[in-house]
Amino acid sequence: MTDLDPVIHAAARLRITASLAVIPAGDRIAFPRLQHLLDMTAGNLSTHLRKLEDVSYVTVTKTHHGRTPATYLELSKTGRRAFEDYVDALRSVPGENT
């Protein structure tokens, strides 16, 4: 079996990277929106995002709208490539019909 990226392979991080991968390169999503889409707690999402950020798969941008803090997320070029490689590795796993 082909080695699967252990950073992406964790179920929560796979959901995060798959969700971010459908957003066009250069676009981003607000943290609360991703949290809602994935139905994750803020703490759980933050923990998994930190692991993805540590390997440069996700770019986190913190800013303010007036006095309100805002956090935006996007899949980095490295993260997008890692996700594509992960999907390719999954496709190469022999199935029951091969």
Taking alpha carbons only, the member of 61, 86, 85, 84 closest to residue 74 is 61
Greatest Cα-to-Cα distance within the chain, rounded to the nearest angstrom: 57
What's the CATH code, domain 6-91?
1.10.10.10
User: Where along the chain do its domains lie?
Assistant: 6-91
Q: What is the pTM of this model?
A: 0.90
Query: Could you give the percent of the chain with pLDDT greater than 90?
Result: 86
pLDDT value of residue 2: 58
Ordered mean pLDDT values, 10 residues apiece, the chain (98 residues): 85 98 95 98 97 98 93 97 95 72
Instruction: Please tell me the distance from the alpha carbon of residue 29 to that of residue 60, in angstroms, as a whole number.
Output: 10
Helix axes 11-21, 77-91, angle to 10 degrees: 110
Quick one: pLDDT at residue 95?
A: 75
